[in-house]
């Protein structure tokens, strides 16, 4: 009896992990953007960084159900670590520095994850917000190291891998960010399609039942929170490396809220949500900021309110018709994608 | 030393008036209202306009600020908030953060981004000698007003019909509505009063806390600390938490100015590790 069951399970997991034609098309479009839109690379770089940040938030929000209002803590921490490494020439090579920054944020995420385990949604909101505020305050106080309110200046980047120097038009920066985003996306995709990812969904669905079937709830939450913090740290490090500057602004509540908005626009719980949402969010922000430089936040707020009033699920399912069409065109994979979709309700 | 204690108490009382509406609405509807600070800011700006531009006496402006903010709260509750109660916490957070962003930008647009000051009557300025202790008159006024409000709130909660309905609804909304209590109505009134109190707090606090468009964001964490540390099941919890926070913050900023901001966060993290449900929460949590 056991043999067919395990076979069935591995078949199911393989079906979940299969690449859908739409996904391949998505990354081809991303690849094409390098050549088709060469004069838009600066904003595309921002989009890629935000997308990575949103991806990291999706890991904890969409897959583990942790609401965070302070994810910028890890973003900013990674950013400052990357800036300091480059400024003091400790690790001059950007890719190594990126990994080091990610590792630093990962450790911070691990340490702080134990605070997030406790309490209700509200407690989590406050603790995550508190962590980002504490870090902001620390960065403000140790101005001999971080430059305080003036920001970290004098960051100069060495060429990537010793070969590709950052240029003023941002071409190298964009390709660099896109590659990092793609690699980390692959890692995240592998992770959420593994049994580990499934167990996270069960924890999100019902922690009590999950622990009853032998899943260590706290262990899973710590693990995913730690990984997510590492991703966010790498996103922050990318921002510092591409802008060669880092300020207290990286820890701000607005940043945490922006990434939450980007993720929600795209839809939580399917990895592409963060990326699609980031594209839409940045384009909207760019348009609004051109329209009303000072008051664009009002319109962002309005969008948030409307999203909630219209219904997040309905908004997130805007791509459903397209996917349904493609699942008919594509091979059998379409069906497994449909069955693999987590239930949209993430309430209690 | 005593002056610090005094200032801390004034600060804490102010925080209580600002945050108690949030505590009650949170406990009652399990609704996360991050936009609570926006109502406080509205109260502050209403007073500012009344006093500075229209010459309304300060003491007359305070009740007006209360009424106006309460009306604003009732309006928002009936038109917008009512759609969001049944939604998951994430939606509530997004919704109220959106409102905060809108209010910040709107106030910035109408009033400008600079710090604003309400002109206080001359009788409230300066210091007064009280039992051999020099205390600011204005802070004394805050303590008196907030103290009276606290007593009044406690009385309403403990001894009136509305208060017992409210407590019943907080304890178990389903059973309460089964007993014929109109929970939604109770909630609407509570929300309006809570917003009004926040507005009054914002008006009183403009002098001490400062008033500029980023007010709701700056003090969001304080409100949340009061609510989570104090628990949402009674009014005593948030009150004691506010005092603790106020005294801790003022003392921290005075004795260790370099680490002043860390004191309250440390208090918060220690409390949450020690008692995740809040310092004064009853064990019977929902």
- pLDDT above 60 (res A331): no
Alpha-carbon Rg for chain B, nearest whole angstrom, is 19
- pLDDT above 70 (res A325): no
Q: Where would I find the H helices in chain A? A: 2-17, 21-36, 41-64, 72-87, 94-116, 121-141, 143-146, 171-192, 195-205, 207-212, 217-243, 253-266, 272-291, 296-310, 312-316, 320-329, 333-340
- pLDDT above 50 (res A334): no
Torsion of CA B240, B245, B248, B254, to 10 degrees: -130
Give the ipTM.
Answer: 0.78
**pLDDT averaged over chain B?**
83
Q: Is residue A301 part of a domain?
A: yes
Q: With CB atoms and an 8 Å threshold, state whether B217 touches A346.
A: no
If pLDDT is split at 50, 70 and 90, which confidence band does B120 have?
confident
Q: With CB atoms and an 8 Å threshold, state whether A129 touches B101.
A: no
pLDDT of residue A320: 64
Q: With CB atoms and an 8 Å threshold, state whether A301 touches B84.
A: no
pLDDT of residue A348: 38
Q: Which chain B residues are closer than 8 Å to A260 by Cβ? A: 93-94, 97
What is the CB neighbour count within 10 angstroms for residue A156?
10
Separation of alpha carbons B64 and B43, rounded Å:
9
Of B193, B251, B230, the residue nearest B11 (C-alpha): B251
Q: With CB atoms and an 8 Å threshold, state whether B276 touches A294.
A: no
Q: Is residue A346 part of a domain?
A: no
Mean pLDDT check: name the lowest of A91-95, B162-166, B279-283.
B279-283
Beta carbon pairs, A and B, within 8 Å: 129
Separation of alpha carbons A191 and B2, rounded Å:
58
Q: With CB atoms and an 8 Å threshold, state whether A126 touches B104.
A: no
Which DSSP category does A19 fall into? P
Of B190, B199, B182, B184, the residue nearest B153 (C-alpha): B190
Helix axes B161-171, B2-29, angle to 10 degrees: 70
Q: Are B154 and B235 in contact (CB under 8 A)?
A: yes
What is the CB neighbour count within 10 angstroms for residue B100?
26
Q: Which chain B residues are closer than 8 Å to A121 by Cβ? A: 32, 89-90
What 3-state DSSP class applies to A66? coil
- pLDDT above 60 (res B285): no
What pTM value is reported for the model? 0.83
Q: Is residue A347 part of a domain?
A: no
Q: Is B9 on the interface with A (CB under 8 A)?
A: no
pLDDT of residue B268: 77
Q: What is the mean pLDDT of residues B116-135?
A: 74
If pLDDT is split at 50, 70 and 90, which confidence band does A345 have?
very low
Boundaries of every domain in chain B: 2-215
- pLDDT above 70 (res A322): no
C-alpha distance from A306 to closest chain B C-alpha (Å): 8
Q: What is the DSSP string of B17-82?
A: HHHHHHHHHHHHH----TTHHHHHHHHHHHHHIIIIIH---HHHHHHHHHHHHHHHHHHHHHHTGG
pLDDT of residue A14: 81
Q: Is A61 on the interface with B (CB under 8 A)?
A: yes
Mutate to test the interface with B, among A130, A289, A348 (most CBs of B within 10 A): A130
Q: What is the mean pLDDT of residues B55-67?
A: 87
Q: With CB atoms and an 8 Å threshold, state whether B227 touches A122.
A: yes
SS3 track for A268-311:
CCCCHHHHHHHHHHHHHHHHHHHHCCCCHHHHHHHHHHHHHHHC
Q: With CB atoms and an 8 Å threshold, state whether A67 touches B89.
A: yes
Summarised one tens digit per residue, pLDDT across range B76-94 is 988 888 888 888 888 888 8
Q: Is B60 on the interface with A (CB under 8 A)?
A: no
Taking a contact as any Cβ pair under 8 Å apart, which residues of chain A between 113 and 132 contact chain B? 115, 118-119, 121-123, 125-127, 129-130
Q: Are B213 and B107 in contact (CB under 8 A)?
A: yes
Please list, in sequence order, all residues whose beta carbon lies within 8 angstroms of the beta carbon of residue B107, skipping any fewer than 6 positions away.
B41, B45, B213
Q: Which chain B residues are closer than 8 Å to A134 by Cβ? A: 262, 265
Separation of alpha carbons B154 and B16, rounded Å:
13
Instruction: For residue B133, list its beta bridge partners.
Output: B130
Instruction: For residue B129, list its beta bridge partners.
Output: B134
- pLDDT above 60 (res A330): no
Q: Could you tell me which residue, B125 or B36, shows the higher pLDDT?
A: B36
Q: Is A300 on the interface with B (CB under 8 A)?
A: yes
- Check residue A317 and give left, alpha or beta (phi > 0: left; psi -120 to 50: alpha): alpha
pLDDT of residue B280: 66
Q: Is residue A2 part of a domain?
A: no
Which DSSP category does B130 fall into? E
Separation of alpha carbons B67 and B196, rounded Å:
6
Summarised one tens digit per residue, pLDDT across range A29-47 is 888 888 888 888 888 999 9
If pLDDT is split at 50, 70 and 90, which confidence band does A180 have?
very high
Summarised one tens digit per residue, pLDDT across range A48-85 is 999 999 999 999 998 888 888 889 999 999 999 999 99
Q: Could you tell me which residue, A125 or B276, shows the higher pLDDT?
A: A125
Separation of alpha carbons B162 and B174, rounded Å:
17
Looking at the 3D structure of chain A, how many domains does it have?
1
Burial of B48 (0-12, 13-18, 19+ CB in 10 A): buried
Separation of alpha carbons A177 and A236, rounded Å:
11
The boundaries of the domain holding residue A126 are 9-340
Which chain A residue is nearest to residue B23, measuring alpha carbons? A122
- Maximum CA extent, chain A: 66
Mean pLDDT check: name the lowest of A117-121, B97-101, B150-154.
A117-121
- pLDDT above 80 (res B261): no
Of B211, B204, B215, B216, the residue nearest B61 (C-alpha): B204
Separation of alpha carbons B62 and A105, rounded Å:
47
Q: Is residue A220 part of a domain?
A: yes
Q: Is A5 on the interface with B (CB under 8 A)?
A: no
What is the CB neighbour count within 10 angstroms for residue A19?
11
């Amino acid at each position: 009896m056991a043999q067919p069951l395990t076979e069935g399970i591995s078949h199911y997991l393989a079906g979940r992990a299969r690449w859908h034609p739409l996904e391949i098309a998505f990354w081809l479009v991303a690849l094409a953007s390098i050549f088709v839109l060469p004069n838009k690379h600066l904003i595309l770089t921002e989009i890629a960084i935000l997308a990575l940040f949103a991806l990291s938030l999706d890991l904890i929000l969409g897959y583990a159900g942790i609401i965070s209002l302070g994810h910028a803590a890890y973003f900013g921490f990674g950013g400052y670590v990357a800036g300091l490494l480059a400024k003091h020439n400790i690790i001059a090579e950007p890719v190594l520095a990126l990994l080091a920054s990610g590792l630093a944020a990962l450790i911070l995420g691990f340490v702080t994850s134990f605070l997030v385990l406790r309490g209700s949604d509200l407690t989590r909101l406050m603790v995550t917000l508190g962590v980002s505020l504490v870090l902001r305050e620390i960065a403000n106080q140790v101005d001999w190291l971080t430059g305080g309110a003036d920001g970290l200046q004098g960051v100069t980047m060495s060429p990537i891998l010793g070969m590709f120097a950052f240029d003023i038009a941002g071409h190298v920066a964009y390709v660099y960010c896109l590659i990092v985003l793609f690699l980390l996306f692959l890692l995240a995709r592998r992770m959420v399609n593994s049994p580990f990812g499934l167990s996270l969904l069960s924890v999100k669905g019902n922690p009590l039942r999950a622990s009853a079937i032998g899943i260590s709830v706290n262990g899973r939450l710590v693990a995913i929170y730690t990984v997510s913090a590492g991703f966010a740290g790498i996103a922050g490090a990318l921002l510092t490396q591409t802008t060669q500057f880092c300020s207290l602004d990286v820890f701000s509540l607005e940043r945490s809220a922006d990434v939450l908005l980007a993720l929600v626009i795209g839809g939580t719980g399917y990895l592409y949500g963060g990326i699609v949402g980031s594209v839409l969010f940045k384009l909207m922000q760019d348009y609004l900021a051109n329209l009303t430089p000072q008051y664009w936040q009002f319109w962002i707020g309005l969008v948030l309110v409307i999203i909630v009033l219209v219904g997040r699920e309905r908004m997130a399912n805007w791509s459903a018709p397209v996917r349904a069409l493609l699942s008919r065109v594509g091979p059998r994979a379409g069906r497994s994608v449909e069955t693999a979709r987590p239930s949209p309700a993430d309430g209690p | 030393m005593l002056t610090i204690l005094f200032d801390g108490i004034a600060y804490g009382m102010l925080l209580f008036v600002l945050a108690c509406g949030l505590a009650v609405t949170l406990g009652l509807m399990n609704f996360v209202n991050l936009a609570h600070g926006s109502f406080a800011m509205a109260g502050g700006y209403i007073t500012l306009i009344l006093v500075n531009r229209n010459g309304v006496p300060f003491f007359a402006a305070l009740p007006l600020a209360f009424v106006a903010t309460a009306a604003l709260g009732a309006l928002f509750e009936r038109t917008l908030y009512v759609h969001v109660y049944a939604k998951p916490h994430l939606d509530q957070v997004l919704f109220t953060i959106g409102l905060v962003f809108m209010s910040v930008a709107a106030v910035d647009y109408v009033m400008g981004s600079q710090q604003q000051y309400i002109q206080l009557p001359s009788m409230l300025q300066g210091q007064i000698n009280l039992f051999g202790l020099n205390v600011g008159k204005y802070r004394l006024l805050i303590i008196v007003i907030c103290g009276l409000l606290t007593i009044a709130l406690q009385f309403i909660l403990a001894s009136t019909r509305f208060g017992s309905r409210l407590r019943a609804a907080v304890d178990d909304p389903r059973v309460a509505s089964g007993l014929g209590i109109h929970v939604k109505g109770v909630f609407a009134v509570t929300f309006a009063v809570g917003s009004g109190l926040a507005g009054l707090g914002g008006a009183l606090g403009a002098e001490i806390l400062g008033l500029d468009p980023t007010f709701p964001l700056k003090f969001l964490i304080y409100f949340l600390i009061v609510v989570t540390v104090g628990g949402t099941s009674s009014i005593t919890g948030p009150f004691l938490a506010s005092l603790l926070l106020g005294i801790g913050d003022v003392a921290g900023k005075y004795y260790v100015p370099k680490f002043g901001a860390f004191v309250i966060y440390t208090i918060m993290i220690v409390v949450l590790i020690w008692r995740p449900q809040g310092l004064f929460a009853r064990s019977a949590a929902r």
